[in-house]
Amino acid sequence: MPVLHAPPRDLPPNETLRRILTSRTVILADGTSNELHSETSGEECVAMYRFLKDNPPKIAIEIGMAYGVSSLAILTALEENQCGQLISIDPYFGFEQIRLSALKAIHDSGLSERHRHLQMVSETALPQLISEGVTPDFVYIDGHHGFDHAFVDFFFADRMIPVGGTIAFDDSQWRSVHRVIRYLRNHRHYEELNVGLQKSFQSANLVNNVYKRIQNRFGPSRYFRKTDDWKPPSSFYRNF
C-alpha cells in the first residue's frame, strides 16, 4: 500500500491529480506503479489552477511535462473555463514509460481533447510553434534548468506571448533560472504577479540561505506579466 500524504487544501478538482499527489505514486501504461518525484508541488498546482481560472488562456504552453502533474492542473482549469488548449513540450529522451504515464493520466481525466504533446526539445519546438502562428497567453517554463536552455525558452516565449500574457518560471530559486529572471527584469518590461505562493529561501545551510536572501533569489515559482513590447536597442546592456 502506498503511503498517503496530506495534500494541500483546495487542490484542483481532478481525482487523478489528487490521487497522484496524495499517494505520491503514478500509474504506468502497463498498470504498474512508480514513485512520484521531481513534480510541480501541490501548492504550485493550486496557484496555477487559480491563476488560470481567473485569467483564462486560449492557448497555454508548458515546457517540461514529466509525469503530467502541472499538465493536469492547467487542463483542469481550461476544462472548467470551457476554453483553451494546452501544448506540452517534452522530448522524454529515454523515459518512454513516463511519457505514457503522463498521457494516461490526462486521458483518464477526460482531458485529452484539450491537449497536444510535442515530443521535441523546446529549442526546436518553440520556433515551430512560432512558424505556425501560435500566440499563447500563458507559458510555464519548467524544462532543462541550465541557464542556456532556460534563457532560450524565455527568449522564444517572450517572442510569442502578446502584451498581457504571462510567463511563469518553476524552480526560480535555482541560480541559472534566477539569472534569466534578472535578464527579464533588466531587458524587458514585465510586472511580477502575486499568485499566492509563499517566498521560500530554503537552503541546505545558513550561509546559502542568507546569500539567497541578499540576492532576492526565492522559489518555488514566479509569474511575470508582459506590460509592453519594449526591447532595448542593440547597444544596450545591463549586467544581470
Instruction: Identify the CATH number of the domain in which residue 184 sits.
Output: 3.40.50.150
Q: Give the tens place of pLDDT for each residue, 14-58.
A: 999 999 888 888 888 788 888 887 678 889 999 999 999 999 999
In this structure, are residues 2 and 94 in contact, taking their beta carbons and an 8 Å threshold? no
Domain membership flag for residue 31: no
Domain membership flag for residue 196: yes
Domain membership flag for residue 4: no
Query: Helix, strand or coil for residue 54?
Result: helix
Q: Which domain holds residue 99?
A: 39-226
C-alpha cell recorded at residue 143: 524544462
pTM, two decimal places: 0.92
Grid cell 481567473 is found at 54
DSSP bridge partners of 26: 34
Q: Which residues contact 17 (CB under 8 A, 6 or more apart)?
A: 11, 45, 69, 72, 73, 76, 105, 109
Grid cell 513534480 is found at 39
* Mean of per-residue pLDDT scores for the chain: 91
Q: Count CB neighbours of 145 within 10 A.
A: 18
**pLDDT for the residue numbered 27:** 84
Q: Say yes or no to pLDDT of 226 above 90.
A: yes
Domain membership flag for residue 56: yes
Distance, CA of 64 to CA of 69 (rounded, Å): 10
Domain membership flag for residue 176: yes
Residue type for position 134: V
Number of domains in the chain: 1
Query: Helix, strand or coil for residue 224?
Result: strand
Which of 58, 46, 59 minimizes the C-alpha distance to 89? 59
Q: Give the tens place of pLDDT for each residue, 174-215.
A: 999 999 999 999 999 999 999 999 988 887 777 778 778 888
Give the dihedral sign, CA 224/227/229/234: negative
Domain membership flag for residue 29: no
**pLDDT for the residue numbered 58:** 98
Q: Give the tens place of pLDDT for each residue, 77-134.
A: 999 999 999 999 999 998 999 999 999 999 999 999 999 999 999 999 999 999 999 9
**pLDDT for the residue numbered 8:** 62
Domain membership flag for residue 122: yes
Q: Which residues contact 223 (CB under 8 A, 6 or more apart)?
A: 51, 166, 167, 168, 192, 193, 195
Q: Which residues contact 49 (CB under 8 A, 6 or more apart)?
A: 12, 73, 74, 76, 77
Tell how strand 85-89 and strand 59-63 pair up.
Answer: parallel
DSSP bridge partners of 86: 60, 115
Domain membership flag for residue 48: yes
